[in-house]
Chain A
């Protein structure tokens, strides 16, 4: 890395418990934020709105799932359904004339309330059985959304989302939408970073490691699981609403199907369970991978001069995506976040590799 930790001595607990205890880290985060804030100045709108924006929103969503999966250790196969609840709630609220600022809060709350249904499953069973019941709930919600015309908006099942209006101003420019996504992602990240330092975060980790052992030391696992699911569902709901408002501009049930749930899961696993920077990596990796694969395949076919059928081209990235999940689980189960950590630890003491960090 660009800095050494030597000579950084904390003289009180507040310094030691700071989010980024090392000045160089603070400078780096500041630099990254500056880069992100000025992105519309140097990136063309294609990159901004079709790569950077969905990446930020999906990172926020993945962080919410990581709260359940990585911190609380509860399996969730219906995360996309919760995002969908938020998306539909926001769109319906907007169409009813509710301002967008309030609509996304409503979306978050609706998702939190309905998403807590998943928590009640988690309060009764865990592990495999929780995974299966959340999967079943995903199907129930899919079915409800697509079969109730009042929700899905009729037979064609596509509902146009009204434009975002912030404080009465319509936000339609690519840069404006990008900033909405950026602010949401930074908010969620800050929340998650701070969660580590709170009693709630520590209680969740205790519940994850062994819930009855946590109960013995006075952690009410019942309550904390509920809080974890509600919080994560809130993040999911708002992320879903932001995704629709800034990216899709229309909502259909397929955007939140079980495949999307698995995709969100893949982001967290590939990124690294419980790792915040990992969620960034994971979301970026899973989102960009199909496109990158497509270019790579067409480059390969061009190189060797053979052609592939349309169907092959359509399904090959998906197959490679499955292979990547398998590969990550076999080779680095803790994901990209762990790989980043390894590289960082190595570089921190480079070239004195024998120094233990």
Chain B
């Protein structure tokens, strides 16, 4: 086995993993505030990609203007989803809530393809294709930028949770009855977490869209996002960051080792295996804190 190749895959894998973390952070944000596992996060990333493209291509705006507009739009859409679909389901069995997020997933995915069509479109944000060199190792420039943005996003979120509004959101996730008793509007807090999550999805859409184009496959990031979120512990943003790196490294090295053996496409298998192993062995993930319902 070529050790350099392995190292290179691990390094690039870690960077990709950080980009998965962006999807996972969105899931964690919503789960933290309302214990809703958002299986529509991948579809939200996809929708965000199409929204930005709509601003850039149909309204002919430069990309640096389309992205902020996309963020604002998704912020509103995030609030809307919570208000219309999730608020009335509060307190219902988890089966209903999961099915609702699946319904939203289908609706957003098929809805954006209804409006904009299913062909893959590029979303250029001006990152050159030439790789970076780290000694003898080749590093994908887009991945490096994506990983950097993910880390910045993480820092911003951590800072946000220190602000007054952020503290209120954390209070809601701790004990929503107590939050209610001191006059916190829990519904508005949850809506805000959906909005922020939609914004994080938009950032993920820009990065992933620039890497692989905007199409239906962006919605498939859900599996990666869920795996990372569960591995990190569903309510830990820091966990999502580290679990992303971990999953990325495992994926990267596994694809080098396993692909020749299994005939390719071992990444999906590794993801699913990681997810199952995490749930079976350590369901609260690496850094999760909630006692989960065990049988």
Instruction: Please list the residues of chain A having a beta carbon within 8 angstroms of any beta carbon in chain B.
Output: 69, 73, 75, 121-129, 131-133, 135-137, 139-140, 143, 147, 211, 221, 262, 265-266, 269, 273, 309, 311-312, 314-316, 318-319, 321-326, 329-330, 333
Contact = CB atoms under 8 A, between A and B. Distances in A.
B107 A136 contact: no
Given A131-B98, A139-B272, A326 B295 contact: no
A265 B105 CA distance: 14
B192 interface: no
B3 interface: no
B85 A127 contact: no
B103 A139 contact: no
A326 B100 contact: yes
B165 interface: no
A338 to B, nearest CB: 13
A327 to B, nearest CB: 9
Contacts of B110: 315-316, 318-319, 321-322
Contacts of A330: 85, 88-89
A139 B114 contact: no
Given A316-B114, A322-B103, A125 B294 contact: yes
A152 to B, nearest CB: 12
Interface string B270-295: 01110110011001000000001111
A140 B272 contact: yes
Nearest to A137: B276
A293 to B, nearest CB: 11
A124 B102 contact: no
B280 A137 contact: no
A-B residue pairs, 6 tightest by C-beta: A322-B107, A322-B106, A325-B103, A318-B110, A319-B110, A139-B272
Is chain A's binding surface mostly helix, strand, loop or mixed?
helix
A319 B106 CA distance: 6
Interface stretch (B10-18, B172-180, B240-248, B260-268): B260-268
Contact of A311 (B118, B226, B269, B273): B118
A288 to B, nearest CB: 17
Interface in B86-125: 88-89, 92, 94-96, 98-100, 102-111, 113-115, 117-119
B107 A147 contact: no
A125 B295 CA distance: 6
B94 to A, nearest CB: 5
Given A319-B107, A326-B85, A124 B94 contact: no
Given A124-B294, A140-B276, A322 B283 contact: no
A221 B292 contact: no
Contacts of B294: 124-125
Contacts of A211: 295
Interface centre among B88, B105, B114 (most CB of A within 10 A): B114
Contacts of B102: 262, 265, 325
Given A124-B294, A126-B295, A312-B117, 11 more contacts: A69-B95, A75-B95, A121-B279, A125-B292, A125-B293, A131-B37, A262-B106, A266-B99, A319-B114, A329-B89, A330-B89
Given A322-B106, A323-B107, A143 B96 contact: no
Nearest to A316: B114
Contacts of B107: 319, 322-323, 325-326
A121 B279 CA distance: 9
A139 to B, nearest CB: 4
B295 A129 contact: no
A28 to B, nearest CB: 31
A140 B273 CA distance: 8
Contacts of B114: 311-312, 315-316, 318-319
B118 A121 contact: no
Given A128-B94, A133-B276, A325 B268 contact: no
